[in-house]
Structure 1
Amino acid sequence: MCGRYIITDTAADLAAMFDVEHEGVNLPEPSWNIKPTEQIPIVLESAKQEPTVRRLEAARWSLIPSFASDMTSTFATFNARSESAAEKPTFKKSVESRRALIPATGYYEWHTEGAKKTPYFVHSDDGLPLAFAGLYSWWRNPAVADDDPSRWVLSATILTADAQGPLATIHDRIPVALPDDAWDQWLDPHTIGNQGFVDAAVGASRALAETLRFYEVAPLVGNGAELIEPLHGDSD
């Protein structure tokens, strides 16, 4: 799973990295301790514009399906299991045409042994940002007036898959990190996504996942660069 992550790049850095043509408003600042329901930067393309325009937008991290009556949910929606996302009512429409990339410098994972939970920081071997495969949704808040710009809420989730290799020693799930040659197809809203499409994306992510490195960090308190300092003075 992915329940905390970091992004240390600015909006301008991300716009250049992902060839973004339009930057949205109120984009979040870099953070070393992003939690579910907080605002995160996502990259998306919309079929409502022709030709499509690649955008960098701020989204709530925990997807709200368009049919929801309010923001609350009986289950967590900050992650979506890749194996079943295309079948779940919460995520199905997003799999079809509302897919996003979620930039991340790295993420935290906890290894549990009995009652003890040990945090690790997972990152790319070259220090470059990752692009998690995500889904997004627009939700109309019925409690907000029609003329209020905040009536439309953009939200997103991160796809996860079974962990393999060394990462499986700390947790059985990992976020799906896509290589850059898979970004365009994942974002293309004209490509109708289904379970096979998601499975192919997971397959494309496997080689990149094998290059990820991790090391133990101190318990997460606060929000600063010190959170990713290796606990034992070294890292993989």
Structure 2
Amino acid sequence: MCGRYATTTDSGRLAVELDAIDETDTGTDARSGGFTNYNVAPTTQVLTVVERHEHGNNEDDPQLRIRRMRWGLIPVWTKTAEPGVPVKGKPLFNARADKAATTASFRDAVKYRRCLVPMDGWYEWVVEPDALGGAKGKVAKHPFYMSAADGSTLYMAGLWSVWRDRSLEQSRPLLSCTILTTDAVGDLTRIHDRMPLPMPRQHWDAWLDPDHPAPATLLETPSADVVSGIVARPVPDLVNSVRNNGPELLAEVSGGSADAEQTGQISLL
């Protein structure tokens, strides 16, 4: 799964790098997902990349657009809690790539509302027996950070939705997204059995195409080659709390217990 990640890009720079249209409000603060955020958590506003036609004109060529969305997809059929506010439900911040096309919450988005979620890297936790002799059955969780070895931005496959309060004549649309996950491959299996689904650049046209469903092959578990440039390293427990948010979350630390190191679970470098 992917429940936390880090990003240091902003919408303007991303738009220039991708030759995309920036449709975000650049005046928002860091917690809204526009700027540096070392501890992005579900329900945060995050940056996404979509490809869409100009509104009301499906005859023009679609263009890449940078949009801000709530991380945690809200299905279009979600009921209203109060005017303009959807009922709170299970936070759909991840979707299994192998089941999304047949899951009610995601199947419509799989067809025509696919996106990319840019990130510097994501966090996962290695779980092992508590080495400090705590209560029987107690476990210790060691956070790890996965990122590109060359420091480049990672683009993960996502889905998005537009929710409106149908009881209001002029309901402001609420954009939300989820990150697709798949079986971990390669060395990443030492950290967790799941990982976000990377979307290589050569597949962007097919994945983001607003007029046609994506090839089913793009939802399959990728080969180990796709993640060969991703490295994992232990990071401080500071990341365990969403209140902590700074570059110190990415500081390298020694890798866990001796038993874990011997089994190859901890140090991948």
Corresponding residue number in structure 1 for 2:199: 178
Tell me, yes or no, if the aligned pair for 2:11 and 2:22 is still in contact at 8 Å.
no
Corresponding residue number in structure 2 for 1:140: 164
SS in 2 for 1:67: coil
Q: Is 2:232 the counterpart of 1:211?
A: no
| TM-score, normalising length: structure 1 | 0.89
Q: How far apart, CA to CA, are the structure 1 residues paired with 2:72 and 2:221?
A: 24
Give the superposition deviation at 1:201: 4.5
SS in 1 for 2:102: coil
Tell me, yes or no, if the aligned pair for 1:179 and 1:204 is still in contact at 8 Å.
no
SS in 1 for 2:109: helix
Tell me, yes or no, if the aligned pair for 2:183 and 2:221 is still in contact at 8 Å.
no
Superposition pairs of residues 53-68 of structure 1, within 5 angstroms: 53-68=63-78
Q: How far apart, CA to CA, are the structure 2 residues paired with 1:224 and 1:198?
A: 38
List structure 1 segments (4+ residues) > 4 angstroms apart after TM superposition. 203-206
SS in 2 for 1:59: strand
> Which piece of structure 1 moves more, 76-85 or 46-55?
46-55
Q: Is 2:202 the counterpart of 1:187?
A: no
Tell me, yes or no, if the aligned pair for 2:160 and 2:175 is still in contact at 8 Å.
yes
In structure 2, stretches of 5+ residues that fail to align are 29-33, 81-85, 130-138, 256-266
**Percent identity (aligned):** 35
Q: How far apart, CA to CA, are the structure 1 residues paired with 2:127 and 2:154?
A: 25
Cα pair distance change 1:14/1:160, threshold 3 Å: same
1:199-222 C-alpha deviation (Å, 9 max, x unpaired): 335455642213210100011141
Amino acid aligned to 1:12 = G
Tell me, yes or no, if the aligned pair for 1:4 and 1:36 is still in contact at 8 Å.
yes
Cα pair distance change 1:167/1:72, threshold 3 Å: farther
Amino acid aligned to 1:37 = T
Tell me, yes or no, if the aligned pair for 2:110 and 2:159 is still in contact at 8 Å.
yes
- Identify which of 86, 92, 95 aligns with 1:77: 92
Q: How far apart, CA to CA, are the structure 1 residues paired with 2:12 and 2:178?
A: 23
1:63-104 C-alpha deviation (Å, 9 max, x unpaired): 001111144455331000001000001000100010001000
Q: How far apart, CA to CA, are the structure 2 residues paired with 1:14 and 1:229?
A: 25
Corresponding residue number in structure 2 for 1:91: 106
In structure 1, stretches of 5+ residues that fail to align are none
1:170-208 C-alpha deviation (Å, 9 max, x unpaired): 110000111111112111111223xxx243354556422
Greater RCO structure (CA 8 Å; 6+ sep): 1
- Identify which of 31, 34, 40 aligns with 2:37: 31
- RMSD (Å), alpha carbons: 2.2
SS in 2 for 1:112: strand
The number of aligned residues is: 230
> Which piece of structure 1 moves more, 202-211 or 12-21?
202-211
Superposition pairs of residues 144-159 of structure 1, within 5 angstroms: 145-147=168-170, 151-159=172-180
| TM-score, normalising length: structure 2 | 0.79
Tell me, yes or no, if the aligned pair for 2:7 and 2:38 is still in contact at 8 Å.
yes
